[in-house]
Chains A and B, each alone.
Chain A
């Protein structure tokens, strides 16, 4: 199969060229359709599990609030990769940021992914600082903050096409590795953060699936998880989350949760280890932790150099981005599963489903809601 790369320029036009750097192979629709010209195109099937996605606004960190607040090309590039790689679920941080730019940046990712039929697990969290946990701990702001999360992200969006079988579901996870990142004691997390969030969110939407925070994916995290579960974590969530970056403690993890488990982060460092982890280790997790329902690979793309990401996003001419393969074997394996499921049927191209990603961008109504909170209005929203 031919390897290709995609270049998405700032105007939304797309150029596909021959890969000379091991670029991600996308554009499945055209390729797969060659053998069945008369068959009706179908959306790429969702069968490759879950993955973590970063809600990037821009790649230039010093840009601040300079327009555009969100680069459509970045959103498009990641969404296209998610769609064509056949991921079923997406986990994404909905960074509180006092309802600032980082919060708004997650909106198009969540809405577009759901419109494409992917389930979205939003993490109520914050990249840095204590603003969010203070807002949840304070009864005066707790309800407002959680309700705003639901109003912005919880409402359904139309599916991208009638060909998409169903709108992706939305679930919320309450904080990320709270002891590791914030120093919150495991029992304090359950008592002061998960419990109030559970009651407030369930009051607003009883059907919403609430996922507990996972502890860090290490031996320390195993011990922290025990303390969280002893403190009653499962009384206040629908799914228990683990982060597993090691298979050494699967036997210890296996019996911890009585409720279904979502492994919300798992992965191996170094591209050479990605495929083995994605296959052998994921199989071991499912087998040895039978309550596991979902596993989210960490991650599709990040700015770090730790070697977990599957792709890189390289700036290209005209402000566009090239989607660069960083984990060729893993990407080949994911695509081969998609192709096998397609059995030669043509696929609906991403650009046909999402001709304009800005349709999923924050709306005036979003800004009105955010501006009406006690954290707004702010000049950047206008």
Chain B
């Protein structure tokens, strides 16, 4: 414990610092490729939630020596343990008698992972694999099986007459088995495309089965100062509830000047020849204190490309990733590989580039407008965001030295149902980044009076969450 405390204090004090200034001092270069002697904290999360019931969650992960991460979590009644190396990841967790086991193996040309979980009805298994043909092309395969094939039969009326207790409802519709095959193609940093086919058998809550086929194509293109992301999927259901369904989504992010990012997106779902039953439109803009950079067009992006190709040449079988958490895991896995010393310079260079590329949002808004015909609900959502950077200054002032510090976000959603019921929910969150790796957060959510609450004359309590998060190398 004393060792962990000393380690944490050293991290928070910014030892070995060389980056931008945060309230806790100059950002240090995380020792991603450096062996721990014997332990080093990689993650430390604590959160406390109150919504009528109290839930505490504690998650931690430490690096042990040069090539292993060991983690544990206590989230309410859930206990979990995890061990990760560059090639093997193992985990086990338990909650109220339900178990979950997971494991994966990363070979030079494939990754195979499986998860098994046991609930009241029995065991279910999910296996996923990717086969790497090149740095840019992977074949993706998955299969899942639920061994609980029981069919729900409601209790006879006589039982109700005897007990006076309303019998329980059946289990929700669930997949009995599913198989998918797909291809993921990543062309350099600017283009990514996924195509897959998935077939599944669903046992409905009513007890009969449906066969579902889904064909999907999704792509992301980020040529320069804008990014387009879209997807199209076709789903065909056969059986009692035979139906065909199309889902299309399109989102565009465009830089307006150097510090403003505008975004517009839409999602449409419809049954051809029958009805468009869901539509969603969003638009918004964000002002950044520093010049905005898309992750795929940033200074870090050529380093990501280069490091992934180098890692794969060494047999580590890595996929390119661009979000902060994905990049962190990418660097961590290579940092515990046997070639970590060889890759250290490149890993550190990538982290430094990520820090230089950082986006610092300071003002933003987003509007959502949607409609769901099946539920006969019209939705409106409004999101406002304000961020005060460090060194502290007003949110509408630019500055290239800025880093994230205080951020506040307010979301208000209206749902207007048939019958004249309006459900209003509100969320407020405040986050303080003490540095890039360390933050404190507070969230409050008022679920408002939902339509069910009006009918059932029940009110839902507000939820407060407060927490601390440390993530080394974030």
Residue among A183, A202, A258 with max Cβ neighbours from chain B (10 Å)? A183
Q: In the complex, which residues of chain B have a beta carbon less than 8 angstroms from the beta carbon of A252?
A: 242-243, 274
In the bound complex, CA of A251 to CA of B318 (Å) = 50
A227 adjacent to B374 (CB under 8 Å): yes
> Within 8 Å of chain B (Cβ to Cβ): is A18?
no
Partner of B166, one of A139, A184, A202, A233: A139
Q: Which B residue's beta carbon lies closest to that of A227?
A: B374
Expressed in whole angstroms, the minimum distance between the Cβ of A210 and any Cβ of chain B is 11
- CB interface residues, B 182-238, toward A, < 8 Å: 204-208
Number of chain B interface residues as a range: 35 or more
Contact B240 A258 (CB under 8 A): yes
- Would you call A199 and B166 a contact (CB within 8 A)? yes
In the complex, besides A220-B376, A252-B242, 10 extra interface pairs with C-beta distance below 8 angstroms are: A179-B376, A180-B418, A183-B417, A185-B375, A203-B160, A222-B275, A224-B374, A226-B243, A232-B152, A235-B154
Q: Are A219 and B274 in contact (CB-based, < 8 A)?
A: yes
Q: Please, which residues of chain A bring their CB within 8 A of the CB of B167?
A: 199
3 closest Cβ pairs, A-B complex: A183-B417, A219-B275, A232-B206
Indicate if B455 sits at the interface (CB-CB under 8 A): yes
- Chain A, residues 230-252, CB within 8 Å of chain B (1/0): the string is 11111110000000000001001
Rounded to whole Å, the gap between the CB of A131 and the closest CB of chain B is 10
Q: Give the dominant DSSP class at B's interface.
A: loop
Query: Does B451 interact with chain A (Cβ within 8 Å)?
Result: yes
Task: Please tell me if the beta carbons of A138 and B166 are within 8 angstroms of each other in the complex.
Answer: no
A182 CB within 8 Å of chain B: yes
Q: Say yes or no: is B170 at the interface (Cβ < 8 Å to chain A).
A: yes
Please tell me if B161 contacts chain A, counting CB pairs below 8 Å. Answer: yes
A134 touches B456 (CB 8 A): yes
- CB atoms of B452 and A188 under 8 A apart: yes
A196 and B166 within 8 A (CB): yes
Contacts of A229 in B (CB 8 A): 206, 240-241
Chain B 65-120 residues near chain A, CB threshold 8 A: none
Q: Is A223 an interface residue, CB under 8 A from the partner?
A: yes
Give 9 CB contacts A-B under 8 Å. Answer: A183-B419, A219-B274, A219-B275, A220-B277, A220-B376, A227-B374, A230-B205, A231-B205, A232-B207
Quick one: which of B410-466 are within 8 Å of A by CB?
417-419, 421, 451-452, 454-457
Known contacts A134-B456, A232-B205; A183 and B418 CB within 8 A of each other: yes
Q: Which residues of B contact A180 (CB under 8 A)?
A: 376, 418
Tell me, yes or no, whether A256 is within 8 Å of chain B by CB. yes
The distance from the CB of B240 to the nearest CB of chain A, in whole angstroms, is 6
Which listed residue (A139, A222, A232, A236) contacts B274, Cβ 8 A? A222
Q: Which of A113-147 contact B (CB under 8 A)?
A: 130, 133-134, 137-139
CB distance from B292 to the nearest CB of A (A): 41
Q: Interface centre among B152, B376, B456, B457, by most A CB within 10 Å? A: B376
Q: Given A230-B241, A235-B206: A183 and B152 within 8 A (CB)?
A: no
Known: A219-B275, A232-B170. A137 touches B456 (CB 8 A): yes
A206 in contact (CB, < 8 A): yes
Q: Kindly state the separation between the CA atoms of A188 and B377 in the bound complex, as whole angstroms.
A: 15
Bound Cα distance from A226 to B161, whole angstroms: 30
Chain A interface helix/strand/loop/mixed: helix
A182 adjacent to B205 (CB under 8 Å): no
| Chain A residues in the interface with B (C-beta under 8 A) | 130, 133-134, 137-139, 179-188, 191-192, 195-196, 199, 202-203, 206, 219-220, 222-224, 226-227, 229-236, 249, 252, 255-256, 258
A residues in contact with B274, CB < 8 Å: 219, 222-223, 249, 252
B173 adjacent to chain A (CB < 8 Å): yes
Inter-chain contacts of A130 with B (CB < 8 A): 419, 454-455
Docked Cα-Cα span, A222 to B157, in Å, equals 30
The 8 Å CB contact of A255, one of B242, B373, B452, is B242
CB <8 Å contact, A186 and B275: no
A223 touches B275 (CB 8 A): yes
Cα(A10)–Cα(B439), bound, Å: 81
Complex: A232 Cα to B152 Cα, angstroms: 10
Chain A's nearest CB lies how many Å from the CB of B376? Answer: 5
Instruction: Please state if A182 and B419 are interface contacts (CB–CB under 8 Å).
Output: yes
A180, B157: Cα distance in complex, Å: 30
Q: Which of B157, B160, B418 contacts A181 (CB 8 A)?
A: B418
Q: How far does the alpha carbon of A220 sit from the alpha carbon of B418 in the complex, in Å? A: 13
A251 to B275, alpha carbons, bound, how many Å?
A: 15
* B152-180 interface bits toward A, Cβ cutoff 8 Å, 1 = contact, 0 = none: 10100100110000110110010000000
Question: Any chain A CB within 8 A of the CB of B271?
Answer: yes
Provide the bound-state CA to CA distance between A137 and B455, in Å. Answer: 8
Return chain A residues, CB-CB under 8 Å to B455. 130, 133-134, 137, 182, 184
Q: How far is the CA of A206 from the CA of B156 in the complex (A)?
A: 11
**Which among A184, A195, A224 has the highest number of chain B CB atoms within 10 Å?**
A184
Distance (Å) between the CB of A178 and the closest chain B CB? 9
- By beta carbon, the residue of chain A nearest B422 is A183
Closest residue of chain A to B418 (Cβ to Cβ) is: A183
**A142 to B, closest residue via Cβ:** B166
Nearest opposing residue in chain B for A180, CB measure: B418
Instruction: Mark each residue of chain B from 124 to 145: 1 if its CB lies under 8 Å from any CB of chain A, else 0.
Output: 0000000000000000000000
- Complex Cα distance A379/B460, Å? 37
How far is A1 from B334 in the complex, measured between Cα atoms in Å? 95
- Of A183, A199, A223, the residue contacting B160 (CB under 8 A) is A199
- Bound Cα distance from A138 to B456, whole angstroms: 7
A206 to B166, CA, bound (A): 16
Distance A183 CA – B452 CA, assembled complex (angstroms):
9
CB distance from A279 to the nearest CB of B (A): 26
For the complex, what is the distance from the CA of A255 to the CA of B454, rounded to whole Å? 35
Contacts of B205 on A, CB cut-off 8 Å? 187, 230-232
Q: How far is the CA of A181 from the CA of B451 in the complex (A)?
A: 12
**Which positions 254-280 of chain B face chain A at CB distance < 8 Å?**
271, 274-275, 277
Q: How far is the CB of A85 from chain B (nearest CB, A)?
A: 33
Instruction: Chain B residues near A226: list those with CB within 8 A.
Output: 241, 243
| Chain A residues positioned under 8 Å from B169 (CB to CB) | 191, 195, 232
Q: Which of B161, B375, B417 contacts A203 (CB 8 A)?
A: B161
Cβ of A67 to closest chain B Cβ, rounded Å: 32
User: In the assembled complex, how far is the CB of residue B287 from the closest CB belonging to chain A, in whole angstroms?
Assistant: 38
Q: Nearest Cβ in chain A — how far from B303, in angstroms?
A: 49
The docked-state distance in angstroms from the alpha carbon of A252 to that of B275 is 13
A220-B277, A230-B173 are known contacts. Are A186 and B376 too (CB-CB below 8 A)?
Answer: no
Within the complex, the shortest CB–CB distance from B450 to chain A, in Å, comes to 10
B451 touches A184 (CB 8 A): yes
A183→B309 CA distance, assembly (Å) = 54
B53 to chain A, nearest CB (A): 22
Q: 1/0 per residue B370-410: CB within 8 Å of A? A: 00011111000000000000000000000000000000000
A191–B275 CA distance with the chains assembled, in angstroms? 26
Q: How far is the CA of A191 from the CA of B170 in the complex (A)?
A: 9
